[in-house]
Structure 1
Amino acid sequence: MQRKKWIALIIVMAVLFAGLIVEGFTGTPEDLANHPGYAWEENVVSGTGNAKIIQLFVNGVISGERNAAGIPTNTEILREQLRYAEEDENVKALVLRIDSPGGEVVATDEIYNRLLRFKQVRNIPIVVSMGSTAASGGYYLATAADTIFANPNTLTGSLGVIFNLVNYSEAANKLGIHQYAIKSGRFKDIGSPTRPVTAQEQQIFQTLVNESYHKFVDVIVKGRNLSRERVLEIADGRVYSGEQAKQLGLIDKFGDLEEATQHALSLSGEQTATVVRYSDQISFSKLLFSMKQHWSNPDPLGLSRILDRHSTHRLLYQFIPGES
């Protein structure tokens, strides 16, 4: 019994000591890959040889906003993985698996430009493999590829921009709730949910949407070698199946992740290569860091994010059923 008490005490002291170390981590996302709790390790999927084909993944909504626990976003992780791959001279091709409805305009565009930089710096092929959904911002990222694979049933398209505004002024009036905005300019409270949107304000928002939409059209024209007139015809916000997308020239081939990887190997010029995925190393410090963030999270269920979904105005390259 006494021995068990000593073991328990040692574990507690180790946890507290390591917690102090983790507490001291205040680095930026760029430091993430070098942090001992989040260093990347390579997992071999298949193949042999020094040459590598890297498989990276874009899953879920593309967002640059960390949750209440401070967990790195999928865009931060992907950016760090791209940096890691860029510094590895043995990487000869990149396969990007996309299963995403898209997301924030800025976060999507940042990853897109990071993919273009990767191609420019390393001069190696990028092949995209679409999963169940690669719509809106998910397709935006796909345009950076040399070849796009999809399943005939993949949900893609939704080429466009959406900007949501929620208005509850009528409900507020019925409840006797009034908000008075003391503002420095006539448009400082633009988009306020407590009053109707004016025609001028709607035009301002429409201008922002149009700018992002034309940027989306530009990347499709550039990435898919389609005429601008043709892209404008098909980029009306509707979703397409993989079958329809192939007929429209939005994708190149049908196939799964393995077939996309084999195609990447053929584009690389290598005879053989090791297919690799990155994962963050499982370490004691990482475990403590995650536990610390969870314990310090004032909203572990993420309810505030659900409630605030429409409270923060964002331009979105995102497929949202019922809204787009």
Structure 2
Amino acid sequence: MNRKKWVALLIILVVFIAGLLVETVSDTNARLADHPGISWEENIVSGSGTGKIVQLFVSGVISGEPSAAGAPSMSEVLAEQLRRVEEDPSVKALVLRINSPGGEVVATDELHTRLLRLKQVRRIPIVVSMGSTAASGGYYLATAGDAIFANPNTLTGSLGVIFNLLNYSEAANKLGVHQFAIKSGRFKDIGSPFRPLTTPERQIFQSLVNESYQKFVDVIVKGRNLSRQRVLEIADGRVYSGEQAKRLGLIDQFGDLEEATRYALSLSGEREATVVRYTDQLSLSKLLFSLKQHLANPDPLGLSRSLERQSSPQLLYQFMP
């Protein structure tokens, strides 16, 4: 048997064993805690003491959608990490490092609610550390913090909501492509890309955007202790630098993650504490699960998922230049 056949046989054997082992794990979709993609080790970053300061990271677009490889969504992972913080009595403060342009309205609001619940249930301080970008939904999450640190060059703001609709009616007409919608009500095919948007339809979508926008304004008013009129003046969708945001009262101090962590310690009431992070725990089951998902995935590049998002409009708290 030549070398190529041996390699092919080895791959088949690995896939077969992976399938057997993964199936022995209880249904990965049934309970989040059993998902091989959600398992962490608690790594010490610095410090000492029985009390802990946890650093959590919000990186990339905030979404409730699983990845193309079937891994848990960002919101699932963060929600589970926040649950772990909530259930650990030794955690005395939380530092939330945000490097995100924002994302889905629902996923963002759910995470914000979890952060507020953590403060109410555990009474632990939350300090936000902004990275290079903490805009729109990223800022929405930041309003849950007791203090917000940023770099003078951080890109933040973009306070508002966007709802994109793709329309190719003119191109379809030129190509002779037509869609006939047999519908039960006047607005059942609202937003169809095969025809222009009508004025009543635009008003309906605008009302949805306005509702989400008002919620955004509410969390800024409450979280930053600003007047509603002042928030309405600055929440026009534009982006701000860290320098501008500080002048507007959107952030509190300039500083990096380390400085934000030291400030969290000062709020915790502890003289010293151990700074920890939750990092991915490498395990055989996780590796095998990833392999199985990759091999079983008909769309490894996520192209079809991207097209689905394009054709399924969503309300977004997201900076989209």
Q: Shorter-chain TM-score: what band? A: over 0.9
2:219, 2:93 → 1: CA distance?
21
Measured after TM superposition, the shift of residue 10 of structure 1 is 11
- Residues 241-267 of structure 1 show CA distances to partners (whole Å, capped at 9, x for unaligned) of 000000000000000000000000000
- Residues 41-91 of structure 1 show CA distances to partners (whole Å, capped at 9, x for unaligned) of 101000011110000000000011113321111111000001111111100
Measured after TM superposition, the shift of residue 18 of structure 1 is 4.9
Determine the structure 2 residue equivalent to 1:71: 71
Determine the structure 2 residue equivalent to 1:224: 224
Determine the structure 1 residue equivalent to 2:3: none
1:167, 1:36 → 2: CA distance?
40
1:11, 1:217 → 2: CA distance?
54
Query: RMSD of the alignment, in Å?
Result: 1.9
1:167 aligns to what SS in structure 2?
A: coil
Determine the structure 1 residue equivalent to 2:260: 260
Q: Which amino acid aligns with 1:72?
A: P
1:320 aligns to what SS in structure 2?
A: coil
- Judged with a 3 Å threshold, the aligned counterparts in structure 2 of structure 1 residues 37 and 58 are, in CA distance, closer, same or farther, namely closer
Structure 1 stretches of at least 4 aligned residues deviating more than 6 Å after TM superposition = 9-15
2:110 aligns to what SS in structure 1?
A: helix
Q: Which amino acid aligns with 2:279?
A: S
- Structure 2: give runs of 5+ residues left out of the alignment: 1-8
Q: Aligned pair count?
A: 313
Are positions 1:285 and 2:285 aligned together?
yes
**1:1-324 mapped onto 2 (5 Å cutoff):** 16-23=16-23, 24-28=25-29, 31-35=31-35, 38-321=38-321
1:18, 1:271 → 2: CA distance?
48
Measured after TM superposition, the shift of residue 22 of structure 1 is 1.4
1:303, 1:266 → 2: CA distance?
47
Contact 2:95 2:126 in 1 (8 A): yes
Q: Which amino acid aligns with 2:118?
A: F
- Residues 266-298 of structure 1 show CA distances to partners (whole Å, capped at 9, x for unaligned) of 000101100000012101111000111111111
Contact 1:33 1:40 in 2 (8 A): no
Determine the structure 2 residue equivalent to 1:5: none
Identity of aligned residues (%): 77
Contact 2:100 2:134 in 1 (8 A): yes
1:126, 1:309 → 2: CA distance?
33
- Structure 1: give runs of 5+ residues left out of the alignment: 1-8
TM-score, normalised relative to structure 2: 0.93
Contact 1:294 1:300 in 2 (8 A): yes
- Judged with a 3 Å threshold, the aligned counterparts in structure 2 of structure 1 residues 302 and 112 are, in CA distance, closer, same or farther, namely same
